[in-house]
């Protein structure tokens, strides 16, 4: 009798413990105190009334001094060590492919003048936000003869990209479509320290702080409410923006949708024991077995650890060598595009046009942005507390997720809803990778249009409910 009683008490205790643990994991913290005007420029924050709020047209130029120096460094570099016998791109970028396909093209065929003209095909601007010169593209729709609504859409890239990543999708987004009563006005921004945007000399510029800068940019441009599409670090910054300023974001579309709430991590770990509870069988290999995913992370995310801990060291190593910069950046783009092609000389790089690849490297080189761009990894982890707290706060902004085959992380919808309870649209593809705007622009844009329809319906339902 005593044993049965003791067993009953133990079972009740375990149940209470599980329920309490679940409550703790689900508990939503308070938003930390944040300075929405924190100064990132040189010196101290001036009088706000004296802050430069001008918006200046900007033109991209690759000057001859930079071009001649770049070509000289490429021609006078040391020879590469050849790949091991039987290895292609498994140990990193294939140096034969790098030399014969990438660097030879960059030196002899990449037309810097034509590419600068190509980059200037959209209107470029700069403005000071919190002390930093922020560069962005603002492209309004083509002639709108059908009186479609014009919706503001903020596009945000990640590492090692810039607003250049969106050149293929901008004309698709700003062209009216049959069957849709809206079209987009696009604002494609360079994150601070990326592309043509100024970096900071002050510590603490994490993804959360970049999200605040993006919000203040949109406010400067006159947008009190808008939609967002983002990937990679841009998606993390946009997630924070959508969490802190929930009344300002009409809808958030991400091609790397992820919930970093502790409850989501616990669900993932439990799923390693019982995968069928977490994910559909046809997508199981994107998450499990967990040992395969951990092995993949160990093989392919060494750069992440390096850039999180010692970004200035690797920055110094790459800042003086365009060949090394190209090798480092392009190897990661290849893996992110299709890691199943590491047995080939190109390692996934043939998935993307070579001019697009070299635009990314040239912009990084010309603006000396390798170190400032990598610091987002360190600042978002070392100065982690506020970012972690905001990560653990759900955002009720309507959200849309698109998952391409070779994205570096996959979470099913019911895990994503830990962070995004109003996930209203979800798409899964068996192709494509991390750099969707360059690699699969049509599929990305199609999904953005479909998602915004879902966002609009969500708001209409909410208004209807509130009016009752």
Looking up residue 176, the CATH number of its domain turns out to be 3.40.50.1820
On whether residue 29 sits in a domain, the answer given is no
Q: For residue 201, what are its two tokens?
A: 């000399």
Evaluate the omega torsion of the peptide bond into residue 330 and state whether it is cis, within 30 degrees of 0. Answer: no
| pLDDT score recorded for residue 277 | 81
Asked whether 361 and 330 are in contact (CB, 8 A), the reply is: yes
Nearest to 396 by CA among 370, 415, 427, 424: 424
Give percent helix, percent strand, percent coil of the chain, each to the nearest 5.
50, 10, 35
Residue 145 contacts by C-beta under 8 Å, 6 or more apart in sequence?
none
**34 C-beta neighbours (distance < 10 Å), count:** 15
Active-site annotation holder among 133, 190, 232, 447? 232
Active-site annotation holder among 268, 293, 377, 406? 377
Nearest to 410 by CA among 255, 215, 274, 236: 255
| pLDDT score recorded for residue 10 | 39
Is 167 known to be catalytic? Answer: no
d(CA 337, CA 332): 9
Active-site annotation holder among 157, 240, 429, 434? 434
Asked whether 124 and 162 are in contact (CB, 8 A), the reply is: no
The residues facing 135 across adjacent strands are 126
d(CA 191, CA 173): 21
| pLDDT score recorded for residue 18 | 39
End-to-end CA distance of the chain: 57
Residue 437 contacts by C-beta under 8 Å, 6 or more apart in sequence?
155, 157, 165, 166, 168, 169, 231, 444
On whether residue 34 sits in a domain, the answer given is no
Q: In angstroms, what is the C-alpha Rg of the chain? A: 24
DSSP states along 297-341: HHHH-HHHHHHHH-HHHHHHHHTT-HHHHHHHHHHHHHHHH-GGG
| pLDDT score recorded for residue 148 | 92
Which secondary structure element, helix H or strand E, spans residue 2, and what is its range? helix 2-26
- 457: containing domain: 60-467
Asked whether 158 and 235 are in contact (CB, 8 A), the reply is: yes
- For residue 222, give the DSSP letter: T
On whether residue 287 sits in a domain, the answer given is yes
Is 135 known to be catalytic? Answer: no
Residue listed under structure tokens 């004309």: 171
Which secondary structure element, helix H or strand E, spans residue 228, and what is its range? strand 226-230
Q: How far is CA 163 from the centre of its chain?
A: 11
Residue 58 contacts by C-beta under 8 Å, 6 or more apart in sequence?
124, 125, 126, 135, 196
CA distances to 22, 36, 244 from 263, in Å: 8, 29, 20
Provide the total of helices (H) and of strands (E) in the chain, helices listed first. 19, 9
Planar angle of CA 239, 389, 270, nearest 5 degrees: 85
Q: For residue 320, what are its two tokens?
A: 């003086």
Q: For residue 276, what are its two tokens?
A: 């069928």
On whether residue 31 sits in a domain, the answer given is no
Helix runs in 110-261, H state only: 112-119, 170-173, 207-220, 232-244
| pLDDT score recorded for residue 69 | 98
Q: For residue 217, what are its two tokens?
A: 């940019």
Q: Maximum distance among all alpha carbons in the chain?
A: 91
On whether residue 4 sits in a domain, the answer given is no
How does pLDDT run along the chain (468 residues), one tens digit per residue? 544 434 444 343 333 333 334 445 668 999 999 999 999 999 887 676 678 899 999 999 999 999 999 999 999 999 999 999 999 999 999 999 999 999 999 999 999 999 999 999 999 999 999 999 999 999 999 765 678 999 999 999 999 999 999 999 999 999 999 999 999 999 999 999 999 999 999 999 999 999 999 999 999 999 999 999 999 999 999 999 999 999 999 999 999 999 999 999 999 999 888 888 888 989 999 999 999 999 999 999 999 999 999 999 999 999 999 999 999 999 999 999 999 999 999 999 999 999 999 999 999 999 999 999 999 999 998 878 899 999 999 999 999 999 999 999 999 999 999 999 999 999 999 999 999 999 999 999 999 999 999 999 999 998 866 655
Nearest to 254 by CA among 386, 157, 174, 339: 157
**243 C-beta neighbours (distance < 10 Å), count:** 24
| pLDDT score recorded for residue 466 | 60
| pLDDT score recorded for residue 383 | 73
Nearest to 195 by CA among 124, 114, 256, 109: 124
On whether residue 103 sits in a domain, the answer given is yes
Is 122 known to be catalytic? Answer: no
On whether residue 32 sits in a domain, the answer given is no
Q: How many domains does the chain have?
A: 1
Residue 187 contacts by C-beta under 8 Å, 6 or more apart in sequence?
136, 137, 138, 152, 153, 154, 155, 217, 218, 221, 223, 226
Q: For residue 1, what are its two tokens?
A: 């009798």
On whether residue 229 sits in a domain, the answer given is yes
């Amino acid at each position: 009798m005593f044993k049965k009683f003791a067993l009953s008490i133990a079972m009740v205790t375990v149940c209470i413990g599980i329920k309490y643990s679940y409550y703790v994991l689900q508990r939503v913290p308070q938003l930390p105190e944040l300075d929405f005007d924190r100064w990132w420029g040189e010196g101290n924050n001036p009088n706000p009334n004296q802050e430069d709020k001008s918006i200046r047209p900007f033109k991209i130029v690759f000057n001859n001094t930079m071009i001649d120096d770049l070509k000289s460094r490429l021609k006078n570099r040391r020879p590469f060590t050849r790949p091991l016998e039987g290895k292609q791109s498994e140990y990193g970028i294939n140096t034969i492919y790098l030399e014969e396909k990438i660097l030879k093209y960059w030196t002899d065929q990449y037309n810097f003048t034509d590419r600068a003209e190509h980059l200037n095909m959209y209107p470029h601007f700069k403005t000071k936000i919190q002390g930093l010169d922020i560069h962005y593209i603002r492209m309004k729709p083509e002639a709108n003869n059908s009186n479609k609504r014009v919706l503001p859409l903020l596009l945000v890239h990640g590492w090692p990209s810039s607003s250049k990543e969106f050149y293929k999708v901008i004309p698709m987004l700003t062209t009216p479509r049959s069957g849709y009563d809206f079209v987009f006005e696009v604002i494609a921004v360079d994150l601070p320290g990326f592309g043509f945007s100024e970096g900071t000399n002050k510590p603490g510029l994490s993804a959360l702080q970049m999200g605040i800068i993006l919000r203040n940019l949109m406010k400067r441009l006159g947008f009190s409410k808008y939609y967002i599409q983002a990937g990679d670090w841009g998606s993390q910054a946009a997630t924070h923006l959508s969490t802190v300023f929930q009344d300002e974001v009409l809808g958030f579309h991400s091609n790397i949708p992820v919930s970093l709430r502790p409850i989501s991590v616990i669900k993932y770990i439990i799923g390693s024991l019982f995968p069928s509870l977490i994910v559909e069988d046809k997508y199981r290999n994107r998450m499990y077995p967990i040992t395969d995913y951990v092995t993949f992370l160990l093989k392919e995310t060494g750069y992440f650890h390096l850039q999180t801990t010692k970004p200035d060291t690797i920055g110094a190593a790459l800042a003086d060598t365009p060949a090394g910069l190209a090798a480092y950046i392009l190897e990661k783009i290849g893996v992110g595009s299709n890691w199943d092609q590491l047995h080939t000389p190109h390692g996934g790089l043939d998935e993307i046009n070579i001019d697009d690849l070299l635009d990314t490297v040239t912009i990084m080189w010309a603006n000396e942005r390798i170190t400032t761009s990598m610091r987002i990894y360190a600042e978002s982890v070392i100065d982690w507390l506020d970012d972690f707290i905001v990560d653990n706060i759900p955002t009720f902004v309507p959200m849309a997720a698109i998952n391409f085959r070779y994205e570096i992380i996959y979470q099913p919808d019911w895990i994503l809803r830990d962070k995004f309870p109003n996930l209203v649209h979800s798409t899964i593809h068996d192709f494509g990778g991390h750099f969707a705007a360059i690699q699969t622009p049509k599929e990305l844009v199609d999904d953005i249009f479909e998602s915004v329809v879902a966002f609009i319906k969500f708001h209409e339902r909410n208004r209807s409910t509130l009016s009752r």
